[in-house]
Amino acid sequence: MSIAYPAVNISYCVRCKWMLRAAWYQQEILQTFSSKAIDENETTLTVNCAMLSPSLVAGTFQVAVKRDENADWVVIWDRKQEDGFPDSKLLKQRIRDHLYPELKLSHIDKPNKHGGKLVTGQSPEPSRDDTCVDCKTWEY
């Protein structure tokens, strides 16, 4: 089985239990980019593959895109560098900006709130370093 491009890869820490979060972003990406008109005469799949990649590296949550098989993966979101998770709107904008800068995303093109970071009513996220309690107590 080969990868169809353009592709998106979401790497997430299994010990932090971020699989459902990663799957939610995956479905948001596929829903938005499943078929868009690149020009007025042609509708095409704009993201052909959205993969989930479990990681044992503490605190990992990265989203990367790859235009074609000869291109390199480009990280468009790293939770440790960005200090949190992205709002899905910002993530979609970054995917679009990298793969199809000319593509219009309608309401997604409106300005972002909260600096594009996901804001929830939950307790604060783990810090950017590798201090996740679940990760530190993981038994191999």
Half-sphere exposure of 47 (CA within 13 A, CB side): 26
**Per the domain annotation, does 136 fall within a domain?**
no
Query: Mind listing the pLDDT tens digit for each residue in 51-75?
Result: 999 999 999 999 999 999 999 999 9
Q: Which two tokens stand for residue 90?
A: 């910002």
Give me the number of domains the chain comprises: 1
Alpha carbon distances (Å) from 79 to 19, 40, 119: 14, 37, 14
Residue type, 92: K
Query: Mind listing the pLDDT tens digit for each residue in 76-85?
Result: 999 999 999 9
Cβ-Cβ contacts under 8 Å for 42 (sequence gap 6 or more): none
Q: Which two tokens stand for residue 57?
A: 């590296």
CA nearest to 103, candidates 4, 26, 35:
35
Report how far residue 124's alpha carbon sits from residue 108's, in angstroms, rounded to the nearest whole number. Answer: 26
Flag whether pLDDT at 3 surpasses 90. no
Report how far residue 68's alpha carbon sits from residue 80's, in angstroms, rounded to the nearest whole number. Answer: 26
Angle (deg, nearest 10), helices 19-33 and 88-99: 50
Q: Taking a C-beta distance cutoff of 8 angstroms, is the pair 24, 14 a contact?
A: no
**Per the domain annotation, does 53 fall within a domain?**
yes
Query: Mind listing the pLDDT tens digit for each residue in 94-119?
Result: 999 999 888 777 666 666 665 656 65
Q: Which two tokens stand for residue 111?
A: 């300005």
**Per the domain annotation, does 130 fall within a domain?**
no
Query: Mind listing the pLDDT tens digit for each residue in 12-32?
Result: 999 999 999 999 999 999 998
Please give the residue range of the domain that contains residue 70: 7-122
Which pTM does this prediction carry?
Answer: 0.76
Flag whether pLDDT at 127 surpasses 90. no
Q: Which residue has the higher pLDDT, 123 or 34?
A: 34
CATH of the domain at 107: 3.40.30.10
**Per the domain annotation, does 131 fall within a domain?**
no
Flag whether pLDDT at 8 surpasses 90. yes
**Per the domain annotation, does 98 fall within a domain?**
yes
Confidence of residue 130 (pLDDT cuts 50, 70, 90): low
Q: What percentage of residues in the chain have a pLDDT greater than 70?
A: 67
**Per the domain annotation, does 15 fall within a domain?**
yes
**Tokens 């459902």, residue?**
20
